[in-house]
Structure 1
Amino acid sequence: MTRIVAPTSSLRLRLAGAMALAVALAAGGGAVSASAAPATSTVETPADGGHSMGWSMPAGPQVAAPSVRSRDAAAASGGSSLPVQGMDVSSYNGDVDWAAAKNAGKQFAFVKASEGTTITNENFTQQWTGSATLGYHGAYAVGSPGISSGTSQADYFVKQVEAGARVTSWSALGAVLPPVLDLENGATTECWNLTQAQMVAWIQSYAVEILAKTGQNVSIYSNPSWWSDCTGNSGGFGISPLYIARYTTAATPNPLPSSWSAWSFWQYEKPTGNASPTSYDFDAFNGNISQLASMTTTSAASRLAGTNRFATSADLSASTFSPFAAGQGTVYIASGLSYPDALAGGALAGHLDSPVLLVTSTAVPPATQAELTRLDPARIVILGGTTVITPAVQTALQQYTQAQSAPFVTRLAGSNRFVTSADIATGFTTTGGVVYLATGLAYPDALSGAAVAAESGAHSGPLMLVAPNGISTAVAAQLTRLKPSKIILLGGTSAVSTTVASQAAKYAPTVTRFAGTTRYNTSALISSSTFPSSTPPTTVYIAVGTNFPDALSGAPVAGLADSPVLLVTSTGIPTLVAQELHRLKPQSIVVLGGTSAISTEVEAQLDGLAR
Structure 2
Amino acid sequence: MRKILGMMVVLVVVTACGQRPHKPVESGASAVVVPDIVTYPRFGDADPHEWESRAPQSYPVHGIDISRWQGDIDWRTAKDSGVSFAFIKATEGGDVADPKFDEHRRGAQRAGVPWGAYHYYYFCRPAEEQARWFIQHVPKGAPLPHVLDLEWTPRSKTCTRRPDPREIWREARVFMNMLEAHYGRRPIIYTTVDFWKDSDIGQLARTEFWLRSVAGNPRKVYPGAYWTFWQYTGTGLIPGISGEVDINVFRGSPEAWAHWMAGSG
TM-score (norm 2): 0.71
What corresponds to 1:122 in structure 2? Answer: 99
Give CA deviations for 1:452-510 in whole Å, capped at 9, x if unaligned. xxxxxxxxxxxxxxxxxxxxxxxxxxxxxxxxxxxxxxxxxxxxxxxxxxxxxxxxxxx
- The residue correspondences of 1:176-191 to structure 2 (distance < 5 A) are 176-188=143-155
| Native 8 Å contact 2:213 2:221 kept in 1 | no
Where does residue 67 of structure 2 map in the other structure? 90
Amino acid at match of 2:100: N
What do the CA deviations read for 1:247-292 (whole angstroms, capped 9, x no partner)? 02x4x3224657x74211111011279xx63532111111123322
1:270 corresponds to 2:248:
no
For CA contacts below 8 A with separation 6 or more, give which structure has more relative contact order. Answer: 2
1:127: how far off? 0.7
The C-alpha deviation readout for 1:6-30, integer Å capped at 9, x for no partner, is xxxxxxxxxxxxxxxxxxxxxxxxx
Distance 1:134 1:185 in 2: 33
Q: Does 1:209 align with 2:174?
A: no
Aligned-residue offset at 1:147: 1.8
Q: Secondary structure at the match of 1:201?
A: helix
**Cα shift at 1:82:** 1.2
The higher radius of gyration belongs to 1
Structure 2 counterpart SS, 1:281: strand
2:117 equivalent in structure 1: 139
Matches within 5 A, 1:146-545: 146-162=123-139, 170=140, 173=141, 176-188=143-155, 192-229=161-198, 231=199, 233-248=200-215, 250=216, 252-255=217-220, 257=222, 261-271=225-235, 277-298=242-263
CA–CA distance in structure 2, aligned partners of residues 156 and 290 of structure 1: 35
Relative to its length, the structure with more helix (as a share) is 1
The one-letter amino acid of 1:81's match is S
CA offsets per residue over residues 135-194 of structure 1, 9 Å max, x none?
Answer: 3211111111x22111221221122112xxxxxxx2xx1x51111111111144797231
- Please give the alpha-carbon distance, in whole angstroms, between the structure 2 residues aligned to 1:116 and 1:287: 32
Match of 1:105 in 2: 82
Matches of 2:210 and 2:115, distance apart in 1: 14
Cα root mean square deviation, aligned? 2.9
d(CA) in 2 for partners of 1:272 and 1:196? Answer: 32
Paired with 1:283 and 1:142, the residues of 2 have a C-alpha distance of 18
Q: Deviations along 1:204-231, whole A, 9 cap, x unmatched?
A: 21111111111111101113421221x1
1-structure distance, mates of 2:161, 2:46: 23
Structure 2's unaligned 5+ residue stretches are 4-44
CA shift, 1:234, in A, is: 4.3
Secondary structure, aligned partner of 2:181: helix
Q: Partner of 1:591 in structure 2?
A: none
* 193 and 235 in structure 1: CA distance in 2 versus 1, 3 angstrom threshold: closer
* Contact 1:86 1:107 (C-alpha < 8 Å) held by counterparts: yes
* Alpha-carbon spacing, 1:130–1:290, altered in 2? closer, same or farther (3 Å): farther
**8 Å contact from structure 1 (residues 106, 134) kept in 2:** no
Structure 1 regions of 5+ residues with no counterpart? 4-71, 163-169, 300-603, 605-611
Tell me the distance in 2 between the aligned counterparts of 1:188 and 1:270: 18
1:122 is paired with a residue whose SS is: coil
8 Å CA contact 1:271–1:280 kept in 2: the answer is yes
Secondary structure of 1:202 counterpart: helix
Question: CA separation of 1:114/1:199 partners in 2, compared to 1, >3 Å: closer, same or farther?
Answer: same
Structure 1 residues 291, 280: CA separation in 2 closer, same or farther (over 3 Å shift)? same
Query: Where does residue 38 of structure 2 map in the other structure?
Result: none
Amino acid at match of 2:258: A
2-side partners of 1:292 and 1:283: how far apart? 13
TM-score by length of 1: 0.32
Quick one: distance in 2 between partners of 1:288 and 1:134?
A: 19
CA distance in 2, matches of 1:191, 1:255: 29
Please report how far the alpha carbon of residue 74 of structure 1 lies from its aligned counterpart in structure 2 after TM superposition: 3.9
Please give the secondary structure, in 2, of the residue aligned with 1:271.
Answer: strand
Instruction: Please give the alpha-carbon distance, in whole angstroms, between the structure 2 residues aligned to 1:287 and 1:188.
Output: 35
Cα distance in 1 for partners of 2:221, 2:185 equals: 22
SS in 2 for 1:207: helix
Q: CA 1:191–1:178 in structure 2 vs 1: closer, same or farther (change >3 Å)?
A: farther
* Residues 73 and 210 of structure 1: CA distance in aligned 2, closer, same or farther (over 3 Å): farther
- Percent identity for Structure 1 against Structure 2: 27
CA spacing shift, 1:192–1:74, aligned 2, 3 Å: farther
Instruction: Give the Cα separation in 1 of the matches to 2:132 and 2:262.
Output: 21
Three-state SS of the structure 2 residue aligned to 1:2 is coil
**Secondary structure in structure 1 of the residue aligned to 2:118:** strand
